[in-house]
Structure 1
Amino acid sequence: MKEFVIFLDHGSYNLPDISNVTTYSSGIANLKYLEVEIMYDIRWQNTIKILSILSKVCNGIVRFKLWMLQTNKENITPILDIIKSQPINNMSIHYTPTYEYLEEIIIYISKFRSKTFTRLIFNRANFKKINFLLISKLKPLEYLKIIYCNNFTVKHCEEKEFNLKGLTWFHGKTDNDLLQVIVMINSLCSETLIELSSNVTTFETMKIIRNSCPNINILKFDLLRYFEYFTNNCKANLKKLSINLYSGNPLRKNFLKCIDNYQRVHNSLKILEFKQYEINWSNEEREIVKSLENQGICLKCLED
């Protein structure tokens, strides 16, 4: 067995008796991927026992996906034991409405996985009172994703050192906190960054990429309005660019021209992905697309 998924909600069933797991411990010991989804505050005793035994019989779980819409101390304890005992290098944490359990998880990650973690995802997590300094101490950390999280502020990034290769930042608010978001993105970017994905697109973020990310080669942005400025000032040799290009967008032709001009200067772009790839180009657009393809660019549909 390489993968194991546990799903807890009111419509699920308790797992079989623990003896069925221990009988096949030699198989489950080879587990590499574990996914635990806790949708409600349910105490299935057999399920909790199985979670507890995984930290004892397994020795190679490297990917851990955790959903916690609601949970309790009884469920969280075996999860912490798994983080402590397994050589996890890739973990995603989804939906943590309260900060207490997330805080415990981050403390365990910092204490026991500081030498193994390379990828970390926070999706709709609550960062209230969370000490992000613990995350910055994960020296092997290369890829960080922060997706629609709550209570993430400038204080989480101040005076923290990151050497990320990949950063994903999706922000759900549209009010006057945008300036803080830009400051936070800037604090997480550096010369080591090669991949950046975000829905925060302003002249300021374009300047951050230009000044702080000279080695970036994969960019996923909704930046049609700012792309001419970006291509005229970008020093990086992008290899892959992903962008939303909605049907009927009046900037579409100008965007394609910018890409064409950028490629003529840099000759680095290999893949151009569109969120909504349109086959019915206008005659002018079709000529530009043909020019891009002749310059070695592969056009494809952006995967969700």
Structure 2
Amino acid sequence: MSLTSLPDECFTGVLFFLDNKSLYKCLFVNRYYCKLSIPLIWRDPFILPTPRQFSLINTLISCLNDDEISSLIPCAINFNNRTPLFKYGKFIRKIDHDYCVRHIISWLNSSSRRSYGRVPTDVSRYQDCRIRKLVNVIYHMIMREGSNIQEFVVIVNWNNFIDLPNFSTFSSFKPGIMNLKSLDIEAYLDLINDSTIYKNTIEFLSKVSRLCNSIINCELCFSRLDNALTNTFLDIIKLQPLERILIDTENYSVNFRPLERILNDNENHSEMENIEKILYALEFRSKTLNELSFRNMDFQIIGLSFLSKLEKLERLEFLECRGFVSKNYDTLSKKGFHLKELKLWHEEEFFYNTRVFNGFGSTLKIMEEIINSLCNESLYKLSLNIIAPETIKAVKESCPNLSFLHIKIFSEQDLDSMITLICEISSLKFLKIEIDHEYYASQLVKTLGDYLNFVEYLFLDFHIDLLSFEYFTKNCRANLKKWIIYIEGEEDLRKDYLKYVNNYQKVHNSLKILGINKGYMCEFDWTNDELEIINSLKDQRFKFM
């Protein structure tokens, strides 16, 4: 069967896996390829613009109707009006508002350069009234042409923010945003002096939850919560069938401050109460929420009892969080969770004082309590950066079916006993290890060589010296299928690293994939001797990454 005899839906599914560079080549194959490639190319056009990337706005302007063109005339916006080959606006499925504005500014800079031989500064350009007019007409055209927007990203982060169009632009055309699936909101209001510059954005957020009924993914990132923003978040959580939520308090004004200062500061305490409102509103998503992530959160005065209401929760992440308090987990221990994935990545600066690791203190005991409360036989994937014999023992007892473990080690203290305990987990198939200092890397690798048995996929995200590497390959009993190693520099020794991999393969005959992390700004130019070893491995159906 030829490709053109496939249904369009099937052929589009094939083209979907191509990158944009390959899709552009498809435009020149024939009319059929062109017709199916254009919607995929235009699905997400608002990527980060390059300095000379002007064609996007030129093409969008060519799609404007007479009324939209007429609205630009008072602003003295000059452009070449040409007939478009397609209604490009209707193919757009994702809008990143910030990138849209940047594309418009790049286009205006290009126009100024052609007309006047000079370009205004970025700040003065953002104050150009033509930007808002172009934003309004481009959004209007996209909605008018019948676009079915699936993803929307808006970032409010400085005094030169260009607001969204009036909400009527979104509500007057169908489908427009009615079938929105993903909403990414970043609002750093403490960086803005005048709240009127984002009033349309607040209106959009307050009404989108009533116009739409199918948002399943939402990212809420903020540095300060006022009541208006809090209410928009609450409506989205309560009214949409969310399956995934990320809550990020990056740059939050009370984040990581002593508890006494938070409680004595009325304004900041009020904002913490708004965060609690959002967290406890998650109960409305008890039947739908599958994935929940927190980033940069301080849980000093925030309990986690709301987690016990989330019946469908399978993936839970704490990324760079801190302030966990033991009393907050009493109610969790009585709840039968069914998590499949858990990431407990504590905020790392908490453990340092003048670059010296001070130990985990009381946090270690709290992490044990969290593991015992949240983990059971359903968990198969776990990421931890608070690693000690106590936490590994808790993992072994609470997670009998654990198959994936990602850890970061901060000290050589108890290193041998920790690695030995990890190697005893018979269900463990994937192991990724990061370290904070390479001075104990040799000890770690040799201990792995002595005790690793069950792991099939090993990722060591640090440089390994050649002697330790040789020791590991000679002594490791595990039959690795996929192995990712980190080689930085060591050009004169690369052949020896490959030779030891080859020797390991001769003994085990298990490796299918070898990944080599080359380090930042490193490129390998393999020698003939190295290529000979590589080709020998490839002859064994061995793949390099």
- Interval containing the TM-score (normalised by the shorter chain): 0.7 to 0.9
Superposed displacement of residue 271, structure 1? 5.0
* Counterpart-to-counterpart distance in 2, 1:286 and 1:201: 31
Aligned counterparts of 1:125 and 1:133: Cα–Cα separation in 2: 16
- Counting only pairs closer than 5 Å after superposition, residues 148-297 of structure 1 correspond to structure 2 as 148-160=320-332, 161=335, 162-172=337-347, 173-174=350-351, 176-177=361-362, 178-223=364-409, 225-226=415-416, 227-238=418-429, 240-244=430-434, 249-252=439-442, 255=445, 258=448, 262=452, 265-266=453-454, 269-270=456-457, 272=459, 274=461, 277-278=486-487, 280=490, 289-290=501-502, 291=504, 294-296=509-511
Could you tell me how far apart the structure 1 residues matched to 2:305 and 2:449 are? 39
TM-score by length of 1: 0.86
Equivalent runs, 1:72-111 vs 2, <5 Å: 72-95=226-249, 97=254, 98-110=271-283
Percent identity, aligned pairs only, is 29
Deviation at 1:249, TM superposition (A): 4.3
Residues 1:129 and 2:305 are matched in the alignment: no
Kept in 2: contact 1:142–1:166 (CA 8 A): yes
TM-score w.r.t. structure 2 length?
0.50
Query: Is residue 405–residue 428 contact of structure 2 (8 Å, CA) maintained in 1?
Result: no
With over 3 angstroms needed to count, the CA separation of the structure-2 counterparts of 1:254 and 1:176, relative to structure 1, is closer
Change (3 A) 1:196 1:76: same
Q: Which runs of 5+ in 2 are unaligned?
A: 1-148, 255-270, 352-359, 464-485, 519-545
In 2, the alpha carbon distance for the partners of 1:37 and 1:288 equals 49
The one-character-per-residue Cα deviations of 1:183-209 (angstroms, maximum 9, x if unpaired) are 323322222111111110111111122
C-alpha contact (below 8 Å) 1:99/1:126 kept by paired residues:
no
Count matched residues.
298
Rg (Cα) greater in structure:
2
| CA–CA distance in structure 2, aligned partners of residues 254 and 64 of structure 1 | 40
What is the distance in 2 between the residues matched to 1:122 and 1:56? 26
Q: CA separation of 1:234/1:9 partners in 2, compared to 1, >3 Å: closer, same or farther? A: same
Shift of 1:273: 5.2
Task: With a CA cutoff of 8 Å and minimum separation of 6, indicate the structure with the bigger relative contact order.
Answer: 1
Alpha-carbon separation, structure 2, partners of 1:179 and 1:285: 40
**In the aligned structure 1, how far is the partner of 2:394 from the partner of 2:365?**
13
Residue in structure 1 matched with residue 189 of structure 2 by the alignment: 40
C-alpha RMSD over aligned residues:
2.9
8 Å CA contact retained: 1:99, 1:127: no
1:63-102 Cα shifts (integer Å, max 9, x gaps): 1001110121012212211111111010010015442121
2:215 pairs with one of 61, 72, 76: 61
The 8 Å contact of residues 62 and 88 in structure 1, kept in 2 or not, is answered as yes
Give the match for residue 50 of structure 2.
none
Structure with the higher fraction of residues in strand conformation: 1
CA contact (8 A) 1:219 1:241 kept: yes
Unaligned regions of 5+ residues in structure 1, if any?
none
Q: Which residue of 1 aligns with 2:168?
A: 19
Q: 1:285 to 1:214 in 2, by over 3 A?
A: farther
Instruction: After superposition, give the CA deviation of every residue in 1:213-272 in whole Å (9 maximum; x if it has no partner).
Output: 12111110124824531244223232x22112679545347526625853xx43x51353
Q: Does 1:146 align with 2:318?
A: yes
How far, CA to CA, are the matches of 2:423 and 2:431 in structure 1? 16
